[in-house]
Amino acid sequence: MIAQRPNLNNTLAIALTAAAAVYVGWKISQSPEQAVQFAFNGLSVGAVYALLAIGFTLVYSTVWFFDLYYGAAAAIGAYGVFYLRSQETLGGLYAVNSIVVNVIFAAVTAGVVAWALYESVYPRFRARVDRSVLFGIGGVLAAGTGVYTGFLLTNPKDLHINLSPVIALGFAVLVTWLLYQAYQGVVAARVLQGLVVITGAAAAALGVYFAYLIANAPDAKLYLSWGVSCMLAGVVGLAFYRGLYVYMRARSQSPLIMLVASLGILLAITALTSIVFESTPRPLPEALGNDPWTFAGATIKGFNVFTVGVALVGFLFLLYLLKFTSFGKSVRAIGDDEEVSKVVGINTTTVIAVVFFIGAVYAAMAGLLSGHDTAIQPRMGLLLLLKGWIASVVGGIGNLYGAIVGGFVLGMIEQFGIWDLAGEWRDVISFVLLILFLSFWPKGLLPRK
């Protein structure tokens, strides 16, 4: 009897899948236009789930524990946009700007910058520059970054002007670094130096041009608030890892301790969000592509198409980062064996901190995209966290390809599952799907190899 159980499970799984396929096929034949509408809705919602699953998978496959701050990062992304734009939009209703919030984010940003300089810059120059001089310069840079962050949050009306210098610098640094990673191992060392200089100069010139355009485009403030919100969520995620998780991981051998700690962080940030913004659902300002258009009998919004595009670009960017850069090789090595990675000289603390930053940025982007489609509320992070986790399980937890597949599959099943039901049944369908996958396909659609 015991030996026959796996065959029985497989038979039952096949039967359930076939029944679902027959039901959906029957419904499509009854109303093709409605099927197109559900398919499009599933893609747009699935794109948000895919973003959540991609970031969640990156963090989990590196440190192998569930960081529940991820849900809070999604809420920070949505409420960050509201915080920066509510004073000028929505008729000024619900406008919030707290000096306490500004100071907290400024202090956290300054601390993260100080740590980053200590980890990356100090070791390279300590043999040539006096220690007090290094710490002094680093302190000034960290404090300046913190003050600048507080200034941005206090003066959101001029966000497009105040951010333009950072855009020029950030664009140049990012493009140069990405191409430097691509050049390494492909060209000779002497040629590499010249390529980096040429690339940096071209990227700097292009960055200045972009900054000029943005400084003269007040309508860009909403989209700049997206970037600021995602960066703040990432900085907070990095700060929690470096300031708390590192010490807890060193002192505890049980992932349960980390889970409980991150749960406390999630609940605390949710409570603080309720205190600052109140628990009433709030709308976000209208973004691009809100005018509906009709396709094959379905009503489609350009913003939802944009959301699908963001998920695909986010997936391709992370795929490139992990597959074709030295940073990605370090991440994969840590995921395979962190102790061996330390032995071979990988700075695991720094690499993992960057992973937490990237994961939080993806969660924040998913949160704000979801917030533009529906009203935001303080507990939204918990639900988005669960949806991201379900999408990861469906696709194959720990597998980047599975993450994006799982997100879109979950979105489609949710939408087609409520064909004859009320919309409130979506969450029930998601958790039923989770139970089915844990029972019959615990490794997901694309298991990690």
What does the domain layout of the chain look like in residue ranges?
Answer: 33-94+253-449
Predicted confidence pLDDT, tens digits, the chain (449 residues) = 444 455 666 677 677 777 777 777 776 777 777 888 888 888 999 999 999 999 889 988 888 888 889 899 999 999 999 998 877 765 556 677 889 999 999 999 999 999 988 888 788 777 777 888 888 888 999 999 999 999 999 888 888 888 888 888 888 888 877 777 676 666 666 666 777 778 778 888 888 888 888 888 888 888 899 999 999 999 999 999 888 888 887 777 677 788 888 888 999 999 999 988 888 888 888 887 777 788 777 778 888 899 999 999 999 999 988 888 888 899 999 888 888 888 888 888 888 989 999 999 999 999 999 998 888 998 898 999 999 999 999 988 888 899 999 999 999 998 888 877 776 788 888 888 888 888 888 888 888 77
Q: How many CB atoms lie within 10 A of CB 402?
A: 26
Strand residues in 223-309 grouped as ranges (E): 292-295, 298-301
CA nearest neighbour of 63 among 229, 231, 261, 233: 261
Let me know: does 270 contact 379? Beta carbons within 8 Å.
Answer: yes
SS3 287: coil
CB atoms < 10 A from the CB of 196, how many? 15
* Contact of 58 with 355, CB cutoff 8 Å: yes
420: phi then psi, degrees, rounded to nearest 5? -110, 15
pTM score, two decimals? Answer: 0.88
